Amino acid sequence: MHANRQTIWEKNVAKIRQHNLEHDLGLHTYTMKMNRFGDLTHEEFKKSMNGFKINANVDNNKYDRHMFLAPSNLVIPDEVESLLRQCSSAMV
């Protein structure tokens, strides 16, 4: 393992151990464990895994981001469709 990668991994192991000790003391509601990204810094992880980029050339305001568009081949059972209509009517 490259020396720098090993150092990063060791720091992440220490961070995980510290967090889990604090969990045992009731300071956190979840535990942490090592995974395949353990030799990455937080910045490296964000850079490699947070790949969504907004296209600056697109007018994003013209799209309704909250509108669900069902696939054209979607078949909804009658019972569900009836329930959805009732919910929609109640909200209007």
Instruction: State pLDDT tens for residues 47-84.
Output: 888 766 666 666 656 665 667 777 888 888 888 888 88
Q: Which domains does the chain have, with CATH numbers?
A: 3-51+67-91 (1.10.287)
Q: What is the mean pLDDT of the chain?
A: 84
| Residue 8: C-alpha distances to residues 20, 31, 49, 50, 81 (Å) | 18, 20, 18, 20, 53
DSSP state of 62: G
Exposed/middle/buried for residue 12 (C-beta within 10 Å: 0-12, 13-18, 19+)? buried
